[in-house]
Amino acid sequence: MKSDQDSGLNLVVKNLGVSYIRKNSNTSVIENLSFDVNPGEVVAICGLSGIGKSTLVRTIAGLVRPSQGEVLIDSQVINGPIESLGFVTQDYSRSLFPWLTVEKNIALPFKGKDISASERKSRVQAAIEEVGLTESARLFPWQLSGGMQQRVAIARALVMKPKFLILDEPFASVDVYVRLDLEDLVSNLVHSHGTTTLLVTHDVDEAIYMADRVLVLSGSPAQLSLDLSVNLKRPRVQMQTRSDATFLTLRDQLHASIRS
């Protein structure tokens, strides 16, 4: 067991290839993809829908087996989900359990883990507070709005104090103002904990606003077509940062790269 001190894990993706067997033919989704992510870095992955962004992060999470190459987190080859990983998907309404209250949904990852009851309780409480769900702890997820449900999913991912966090289109199903709030919430949380974060998004503005670096996937099979550093100072402030000249230049670069 590592110390409780916050420190993100590093990620190495080496010559990664992923393919699916469809109707007896092999469809290659990703081929020969390599990149690194440093501890504590927030990296956004952009690209057109269906390009393989989700497949990539599902492979990194250990939910999909690569057909070639490998994924290493903290120098360990990934063969399945590891304990220090947090994962939030777009489909919060289908990944939260309707038979459990908000509180119990968040406490679920503790099942089968060697953590004392009082520790669990205080960590669930802390996670609920961090995402601002104190009032709704005893409610069921289906009694909450979409944005609130996504907060539950975020709290459930954060309660295990992940050192590596994957967010797969986390805000795609909520309206724009909720989205801005959640972007700030997540940004603050991952920075205060130093969590290494991969953010999949098709929204270029969101990628620049949240990330230290943006990767662009394009082509079929998908390959890395751009690796862009975001040199915007933190803390970032929604409307202000978004009208910064650097922001706008990065945005043009990214749009051009995604469309090419």
Partner 1 sequence: MKRALTLIVKFTWFPILFVSLWEVTTRIAANPFFPAPSKIVAATGDVYTKEWLSQSLVTSLFTLFAGYLIGSIAGLILGAILGSYQMLREIFTPITNFIRSIPSAAKVPVIIALFGIGLSSRVTTVAVAVLFPVLLTTLRAVANTDPNMLDYSKLARFGYFRSLFQVRIPAATGEILAGLQASIQIAVLVMVISEMIGSGKGLGAFVIRAQSTYMITDMWVGILTLGIIGLLLTEGFRLLERKVAPWYFTSKGLQ
Is residue 42 within 8 A of residue 211, CB to CB? The reply is: yes
Of the two residues 131 and 208, which places its CB atom closer to partner 1 in the complex?
131
CB of residue 203 to partner 1, shortest distance in Å: 21
Q: Does 63 bind partner 1 (CB under 8 A)?
A: yes
Chain-centre distance for alpha carbon 137: 23
CB of residue 82 to partner 1, shortest distance in Å: 8
CB of residue 240 to partner 1, shortest distance in Å: 36
Binding mask 85-104 for partner 1 (x = CB under 8 A): x-x-x-x--xx-xxx-----
Of the two residues 16 and 61, which places its CB atom closer to partner 1 in the complex?
61
Q: Does 61 bind partner 1 (CB under 8 A)?
A: yes
Is residue 119 within 8 A of residue 111, CB to CB? The reply is: no
Q: Does 132 bind partner 1 (CB under 8 A)?
A: no
Of the two residues 44 and 153, which places its CB atom closer to partner 1 in the complex?
153
Q: Does 108 bind partner 1 (CB under 8 A)?
A: yes
Of these, 8, 52, 66, 109, which contacts partner 1 (CB under 8 A)? 109
Q: Does 247 bind partner 1 (CB under 8 A)?
A: no
Of the two residues 29 and 57, which places its CB atom closer to partner 1 in the complex?
57
Of these, 15, 27, 77, 83, which contacts partner 1 (CB under 8 A)? 83
CB of residue 209 to partner 1, shortest distance in Å: 26
Applying CB under 8 A, which residues contact partner 1? 58, 61-63, 80-81, 83, 85, 87, 89, 91, 94-95, 97-99, 108-109, 111-112, 140, 142
